[in-house]
Structure 1
Amino acid sequence: MIAFTAAEIAEITNGRLAAEPGITPGSVVTDSREATAGSLYVAKPGEAADGHDFVAAAFDRGAVLALVQRDVADADGRNYPAVVVEDSVLAMGALAAEAVRRIRARRAAGGAAFTVIGITGSAGKTTTKDLLAGILAEDGETVAPQGSYNGEVGVPLTVFKAGFETRYLVIEMGATGIGHIRYLADMVCPEIGVVLGVGTAHAGEFGGVENIALAKGELVEALPADGTAVLNLDDARVAAMAARTSATVLGFSAQAAREGQGAAVQAEDVELNAAGNPEFDLQLPGDSARHHVSAKLIGAHHVGNLLAAAGAAHAAGIPGAQIAASLSAQTAASRWRMERTERPDGVTIINDAYNANPESMRAALRTLADLGRGRRTWAVLGAMLELGEDSIREHTAVGTQVVRLNISRLLVIGRQARALYVSAVNEGSWGDECLFAETVDEAYGILRSELEPGDLVLFKSSNSIGLRHLGDRIALPPLAPDAAAGDPAGNPAESTAGTTAEGSTLP
């Protein structure tokens, strides 16, 4: 972390210094439980809790300074050492921007390179971020987000992990409205920007798909003229973003050759192996060699993510052979993304319930159908949230797809997803082929009693529905009937790290 004194923090954030000016924190946390000796604790109001209520707990764990929106006193009436600001989240952003500026200036003065890469898109951001970070880490110190830290809180927390020895800073960028990505891009000033896709997820929040495209394109608009925009040419809305940037455009395509449209990053001879892992020959601009990639990720839909990571790494100067070797060696680095577990009794679990939108739901179901040939397949599905007025139509389409893909069993969980169940029944799936459970507890009971050796089970829903935890519980070896105790839903407590980090994860 770049060290700031309390006096510098007050100056950078336009805050009021209420502490000894020389106090210099060694880390930044937004969760009091993560505070350690020397931490700066950022207290911010939240929907469920106010961080100011936990200032004392943070200092008990070793925090030496707080970034607050009001003074907080201890039991004796003495205010904790703090910098008082109008908005603690915006203050975090200002500190992060200054940290990036200092790293860039110090490394440039020493003749060393420092590259910031931003990644956005409606789906695949975290997987692409993990793949790219894996490639870059072999070339120099690389800092990338923990889990899906991609919002106004998560991006600064990622930046604070970087220091003067950092060679690459990979930033995942999410948004729930126009201007959010522009804010993040202005904070970190990326040289390379990757746009994966414009989907229908969260269309209700954005006010339509075209507004999603406007928001995602803010990343390429922020790139410098000597930067590189890595764009998915298989998505027409992303391809159109080429007109919104002065940077060099590097297109990638997982479909048929698109050289005439500028697709310089290509996957040729794509096929899935018996385990459902994509294999292909990678072609990169200015490289006559074809580099074979044998990925360890599950599903053909990951070809686009692999190409996006390859394109960004190529733009950063990594040789093609090194890119292909890294992509072939990496396994999924973040949880609940097509995470495969083999139970001792022969049941296979694919837990892809970190999040869901119509595009990722369709991709996961196609993968289930491809992998499930000769096996009994289960689609355990929950709601896709924040689709606005398109919600019923999109859930109906998924239910129809399940039937047309000949998935053996469908288990739909929760009233918010009932349209999915109804459409499957209307399409001709009924009886024990198509089941509905009001709650996760009820679904757990169904699965525990009906799963058989050899079954292949997919879990997929939006994050807050919680099916990822149900998937984790079902992935455990089956217990004897008299040993099955505890929480039937299998919902372990989730810390504020990762997806619930005070708004750090955005679509």
Structure 2
Amino acid sequence: MIELTAAQVAAATGGRLHADPDVTVTGSVVIDSRDAAPGALFVALPGERVDGHDFAATAVAAGAALVLASRELDGLPTVVVDDPQTALGDLARHVLATVRGGAGGVGPKVVAVTGSVGKTTTKDLLGQLLTPEAGGEHAIIFPKGSFNNEIGLPLTVLRVTAATRYLVLEMGADRVGNIAYLTRIAPPDVGVVLRVGVAHVGHFGSVEAIAKTKGEMVTGVVDGGTVVLNADDLRVAEMAGQAAPTTTVQTFGTIPSADVRAEDIEVDPAGRASFVLRVSRAGDADAQRADVALQLVGPHHVSNALAAATAALRLGVPVADVAKRLSSATAQSPHRMAVTERPDGVTVIDDAYNANPDSMKAALRTLAVMAGRTRRSVAVLGGMHELGDGSRAAHDEIGRLVVRLNIKQLVVVGDDAYHIHEGAMQEGSWGSESIFVPDLAAARLLLDESLEPGDVVLVKASHGANLAELGDHLSMAKTVEDNNK
């Protein structure tokens, strides 16, 4: 982060200063006292289980220069605000505006991605497409993992410095107004909308409300900015009508009218897609083309790659470079279609970071492709959360799809996922083709005993199901066993 005095932090957040006004924050902004280092700003966030205020003294002892808190803390240099989380966003907005306004108005280009699925992968692809343009990793920020909410996004924004050329963000939402709030913190030069699905529909209440929220990206870009819209998703394509007259609209997809599209898509036995990247306006006879062979596993990544390509092209990256960099891009964030080839011949597809019906279907189809006709396919599935009244039907549908895809073995983990098992049984699964287990321990025991050389196993669930632990175990299990021999 750029250096700020305590007085400047107070001014940016509307806080009351209880510290030497000249105390200077020279380090990172942190919300965990264990991350505090000399010069840091510690933000004391209240939580359901712990209160950050209780750890402020620890942070200061570790070197934190200042604390952002909702109350005075005896003997600690503090800026007191009504709501530390809101103040965190206010500070991020101030810092980014300051950096953008400096050096003659030349600051980092902000690229933001939203959508019901694919945000993290698209963000990671964009980071890899833009790193050479930035001049190296020191001049671009695209965090590993999903820092896409009202806390994670400001923390990411606060990493900017005068040397930052690109800031690549993902913006998540579970309520109307979330994207609008995040774009006020970091107004994008290029805003990307991937897809409208049913993720978090339990909070939103309807798919229409989800579409409305994702559409907040279109109105949140800077004056004269660009919105990149998925032409294959009708709800997203219709968002073009919300764009301001000064906003440029670019589309991506597989339909002929898309500005940037994939043609001649093929998927190899390992589940990796290749295609011809075609860039042109509809009716343009002078289209540019380049071959792309993705390293990412899953044909659904074609759409993510097109979205990243469209944004990068808008920022001036040549078509040939986009294609070359897409073809060498790798998975950057954990538990997202991460493929491990175990020494015993088992292939593990760890996609356990999160799940909704759309991403679950895509992962299952990839499993079927990778297993083909000669290997046994095993789907280990946990619950999909925040689906509201449609939860049972959505889980039932996934179970039925498992049978239709001829997945050989289904293991359903946890009560919240039971209806996946129920759907598979109703669709015609019999005997032990579908097995329900109550928890991770039971799943681990079952899989350790039953997986065989040549099996292809997918692990997928919503984040709260904690199947990432099982993904880690399955990916490492045989290696650890061999090393202990």
TM-score of the two chains, using structure 2 as the length reference: 0.95
Correspondence 1:352 to 2:373: no
List structure 1 segments (4+ residues) > 6 angstroms apart after TM superposition. none
Which one of the candidate residues 169, 180, 198 is aligned to 2:178?
180
Counterpart position of 1:463: 463
Q: What is the alpha-carbon distance in structure 2 between the residues aligned to residue 87 and residue 52 of structure 1?
A: 12
SS at match of 2:172: coil
Q: Cα offset for 1:275? A: 1.7
Q: Cα offset for 1:113? A: 5.5
Q: Which amino acid aligns with 1:52?
A: H
Q: What is the alpha-carbon distance in structure 1 between the residues aligned to residue 226 and residue 56 of structure 2?
A: 42
Counterpart position of 1:142: 140
Which one of the candidate residues 202, 224, 227 is aligned to 2:225?
227
Q: Which amino acid aligns with 1:340?
A: V
**Percent identity between the aligned chains?**
48
Which one of the candidate residues 83, 86, 91 is aligned to 2:82?
86
Q: What is the alpha-carbon distance in structure 1 between the residues aligned to residue 239 and residue 180 of structure 2?
A: 14
Specify whether residues 17 and 299 from structure 1 end up closer, same or farther in structure 2 by C-alpha distance, changes over 3 A only. same
Query: What do the CA deviations read for 1:147-188 (whole angstroms, capped 9, x no partner)?
Result: 111111111111111111111111110111111111110111
Q: What is the alpha-carbon distance in structure 2 between the residues aligned to residue 106 and residue 14 of structure 1?
A: 22
SS at match of 2:9: helix
Which one of the candidate residues 158, 161, 164 is aligned to 1:163?
161
Query: What do the CA deviations read for 1:232-275 (whole angstroms, capped 9, x no partner)?
Result: 0111111111011111110100x332x2xxx1000111111222
| Structure 1 segments unaligned to the other structure (5+ residues) | 74-78, 485-507
Counterpart position of 2:91: 95
Q: What is the CA RMSD across the aligned residues, in angstroms?
A: 1.5
The 8 Å contact of residues 269 and 369 in structure 2, kept in 1 or not, is answered as no
Q: What is the alpha-carbon distance in structure 2 between the residues aligned to residue 126 and residue 113 of structure 1?
A: 24
Which one of the candidate residues 269, 272, 278 is aligned to 1:277?
272
Q: Which amino acid aligns with 2:475?
A: A
Q: What is the alpha-carbon distance in structure 2 between the residues aligned to residue 317 and residue 414 of structure 1?
A: 48
Q: Cα offset for 1:60? A: 2.0
Q: Cα offset for 1:365? A: 0.3
Counterpart position of 1:39: 40
Q: What is the alpha-carbon distance in structure 2 between the residues aligned to residue 61 and residue 430 of structure 1?
A: 59
Q: Cα offset for 1:114? A: 3.1
Q: Which amino acid aligns with 2:303?
A: G
Q: What is the alpha-carbon distance in structure 1 between the residues aligned to residue 272 and residue 154 of structure 2?
A: 34
The 8 Å contact of residues 107 and 162 in structure 2, kept in 1 or not, is answered as no
Q: What is the alpha-carbon distance in structure 1 between the residues aligned to residue 90 and residue 299 of structure 2?
A: 40
Q: What is the alpha-carbon distance in structure 1 between the residues aligned to residue 47 and residue 267 of structure 2?
A: 44
Q: What is the alpha-carbon distance in structure 2 between the residues aligned to residue 303 and residue 419 of structure 1?
A: 30
Which one of the candidate residues 150, 153, 178 is aligned to 1:152?
150
Q: Which amino acid aligns with 1:21?
A: P
Counterpart position of 2:58: 57
Which one of the candidate residues 191, 203, 207 is aligned to 1:205?
203
SS at match of 2:340: strand
Counterpart position of 1:190: 188
Correspondence 1:433 to 2:452: no
Counterpart position of 1:71: 72
Matched positions, count: 471
Which one of the candidate residues 94, 101, 111 is aligned to 1:105?
101
SS at match of 2:113: strand
Q: Which amino acid aligns with 2:60?
A: F
The 8 Å contact of residues 345 and 477 in structure 1, kept in 2 or not, is answered as no
Counterpart position of 2:336: 337
Q: What is the alpha-carbon distance in structure 2 between the residues aligned to residue 404 and residue 48 of structure 1?
A: 43
Counterpart position of 1:501: none
SS at match of 2:63: coil
Q: Cα offset for 1:335? A: 0.5
Counterpart position of 1:17: 17
Counterpart position of 1:123: 117
Counterpart position of 1:487: none
Query: What do the CA deviations read for 1:27-81 (whole angstroms, capped 9, x no partner)?
Result: 21011111111111000111221110111111121111100001123xxxxx211
Counterpart position of 1:447: 447
Q: Which amino acid aligns with 1:32?
A: S
Q: What is the alpha-carbon distance in structure 1 between the residues aligned to residue 439 and residue 430 of structure 2?
A: 20
The 8 Å contact of residues 367 and 377 in structure 2, kept in 1 or not, is answered as yes
Q: What is the alpha-carbon distance in structure 2 between the residues aligned to residue 107 and residue 284 of structure 1?
A: 34
The 8 Å contact of residues 275 and 292 in structure 2, kept in 1 or not, is answered as yes
Q: Which amino acid aligns with 2:458?
A: L
Which one of the candidate residues 132, 149, 152 is aligned to 2:126?
132
The 8 Å contact of residues 280 and 288 in structure 2, kept in 1 or not, is answered as no
The 8 Å contact of residues 145 and 172 in structure 1, kept in 2 or not, is answered as no
The 8 Å contact of residues 344 and 477 in structure 1, kept in 2 or not, is answered as no
SS at match of 2:259: strand
Q: Which amino acid aligns with 1:196?
A: L
Counterpart position of 1:420: 420
Q: Cα offset for 1:390? A: 0.4
Q: Cα offset for 1:279? A: 0.5
The 8 Å contact of residues 368 and 458 in structure 1, kept in 2 or not, is answered as yes
The 8 Å contact of residues 351 and 459 in structure 1, kept in 2 or not, is answered as yes
SS at match of 2:432: helix
Q: What is the alpha-carbon distance in structure 1 between the residues aligned to residue 314 and residue 288 of structure 2?
A: 17
The 8 Å contact of residues 146 and 158 in structure 1, kept in 2 or not, is answered as no
Q: What is the alpha-carbon distance in structure 1 between the residues aligned to residue 93 and residue 450 of structure 2?
A: 54
Q: What is the alpha-carbon distance in structure 2 between the residues aligned to residue 99 and residue 318 of structure 1?
A: 27
Indicate the larger mover: 390-399 or 52-61. Answer: 52-61
The 8 Å contact of residues 85 and 91 in structure 1, kept in 2 or not, is answered as yes
Query: What do the CA deviations read for 1:177-208 (whole angstroms, capped 9, x no partner)?
Result: 11111111011111110000110111010111
The 8 Å contact of residues 145 and 155 in structure 1, kept in 2 or not, is answered as no
Q: What is the alpha-carbon distance in structure 1 between the residues aligned to residue 107 and residue 53 of structure 2?
A: 39
SS at match of 1:295: strand
SS at match of 1:476: helix
Q: What is the alpha-carbon distance in structure 1 between the residues aligned to residue 419 and residue 203 of structure 2?
A: 21
The 8 Å contact of residues 231 and 237 in structure 2, kept in 1 or not, is answered as yes
Q: Cα offset for 1:480? A: 5.9
Counterpart position of 2:378: 378
Q: Cα offset for 1:20? A: 0.7
Q: Which amino acid aligns with 2:334?
A: R
